[in-house]
Amino acid sequence: MMAASIQKIINPSNSEIIAEIPLAQSKDLELVLTQARQAFDQGPWLKLPLKERKELILNISRGILDKAGELANLETLNTGKPIKESTFMDIPSSAKVFEYFANNLERLLESETVQLENAQSRLVREPRGVVLLIVPWNYPLLIASWKMSQALAAGNVVILKPSSLTPLTALELGKIACGAGLPVGVANVVNASGDSVGETLCSDKRVDMISFTGSNIVGKEILGYASKNVKKLTLELGGKSASIILKDADLEVAVNSALCSIFLNQGQMCTAMSRIFIEDDIYDKFVIEFVKKTKQIKLGPGLDYETQMGPLISESQRKKVLGYVEKAKKEGARLLCGGKIPGSPELKKGFFFEPAVLAEVKPVMSVFQEEVFGPVAIVNKFSSPDEVIDLANNSDFGLAASIWTKDACKANEMAGKINAGIVWVNTYGMFYPEAPYGGFKQSGFGKELGREGFLEYARLKNIFVDKTPDSKPLVNFWYGF
């Protein structure tokens, strides 16, 4: 069943409709799947020399930079995130990732030769084929760019499916990719609701790989669809990440960074450090400062340059976040500030939510275990490294963690014990195209970025050539009567 044919796109800062976008119907999906398959199997894309592929992908990077201001405005209008974040993080990082993988694709795709006794194995990296890229609404352009840059650089054809809440910059990216000179059918964007088209796209045989970023629940559904024809899958799912602040950390830096690590993008980050553990000696001081600064965060419409926190993405997301705070209070957690819908008339029409700080949260509580995906910080104390490692690892997720201390040895030792795919030491949220990223446990599998992330989008073929001196390989003798 297909949903309604038009999707109204809402500005979450004031609930106004900013665009009406057609949603793909069955015939559109059929067209895009056929077109993508043909572009991979018969089109000129795969025959292009790598140097030309590189130039076309560099054109996408330039195209993003040429439209940077427009894209930043659009991203903020659609997601509500502060314009400073779109301008200085999302858009330049999107351009950068295309530039990096374009400039490095030849090196990353280089074949390797393994010399064997009387034989040689040549390991060749080939594109996987048609890759379906499914992205969430929290970083619509950035996550689409991560996936598209790597997939194209590895020689694949892509079908990008943005969240139907936030398709605007993905649609612009599609236009930029076409304008960059990619052959027809190589970069496709489908605006559709995941509920209605997800299964069709994911289980179609013409799709060779699915690269998914989104929630744990949908990730599990996609795991089911992909199993139907055993296709390559990467899953970048949710998190419940821990920030560990040791007593020797620089308190001011730790407080400021903790604010950033949970309240940036309204807390709607997969790597949000939603559980902050503070060593008991500095707990009170930390919490006083943290709460004071949380209360000072300026809420407002995303397009206002003074805004530090915009609205949540939707009314239903706000209800969900509020529900977690209310439940935590009922279960005995102490709300230190925020956690409610702001009363001021100028924020009334948007999906704003006052950033919340909760103390005395027990590991059994839902807010400790489940991903809230909103501006809700837990501040708990600990008294020993072993205790805090247990607390940090007490989660079904394993996406990220951060450790704050001046003791490099201790940080290193603790990082080794943390069950998460990335551990930041004395920093937070650093993503580079050069370095891989991806979670453990129920945060998914596979990597994005770095050599390892890039190679998810390539398949490895072993071309084994016999080199026996007399050209009579061992197999010749088995039945060679």
> How far is 93 from 141, CA to CA, in rounded Å?
10
159 binds ligand NAD (CB under 6 A): no
Q: Give residues 130-149 in contact with ligand NAD (rule: CB under 6 A).
A: 134-138, 143
Q: Give residues 220-239 in contact with ligand NAD (rule: CB under 6 A).
A: 221-222, 236-239
Q: Tell me how far, at minimum, the Cβ of 463 lies from ligand NAD, in Å.
A: 34
Task: Kindly provide the b/e burial profile for residues 114-140, where b requires at least 16 CB atoms within 10 angstroms of the residue's own CB.
Answer: eeeeeeeeeeebebbbbbbbbbbbbbb
428 binds ligand NAD (CB under 6 A): no
163 binds ligand NAD (CB under 6 A): yes
Judge contact between 138 and 79, C-beta under 8 A: yes
Q: Residue 137 or 290: which CB sits closer to ligand NAD?
A: 137
The DSSP secondary-structure symbol of 86 reads I
Q: Tell me how far, at minimum, the Cβ of 445 lies from ligand NAD, in Å.
A: 11
Nearest one of 156, 92, 67 to 432, comparing CA atoms: 92
Judge contact between 446 and 233, C-beta under 8 A: yes
270 is catalytic: yes
Question: Per-residue x/- marks for ligand NAD, 65-104, CB under 6 A?
Answer: ----------------------------------------
335: tokens are 């709300």
> How far is 344 from 41, CA to CA, in rounded Å?
57
Strands of 267-324 (E only): list them.
275-279
Question: Per-residue x/- marks for ligand NAD, 238-267, CB under 6 A?
Answer: xx----------------------------
321 binds ligand NAD (CB under 6 A): no
Stretch that binds ligand NAD, among 147-155, 211-219, 297-305, 374-382 (CB under 6 A): 211-219
What is the number of alpha carbons within 13 Å of residue 315 lying toward its C-beta?
Answer: 7
Task: Pick one of 37, 67, 161, 240: the residue that binds ligand NAD (CB under 6 A).
Answer: 161
Judge contact between 146 and 216, C-beta under 8 A: no
Of the residues 99, 172, 236, 456, which is catalytic? 236
Q: Give residues 169-208 in contact with ligand NAD (rule: CB under 6 A).
A: 194-195, 198, 202
Residue 297 buriedness (CB in 10 A; 0-12 / 13-18 / 19+): middle
What is the number of alpha carbons within 13 Å of residue 302 lying toward its C-beta?
Answer: 29
Residues of this chain that bind ligand NAD (CB under 6 A): 134-138, 143, 161-164, 194-195, 198, 202, 213-215, 218, 221-222, 236-239, 270, 371, 373, 399, 439, 443
Q: Which residues are catalytic?
A: 236, 270
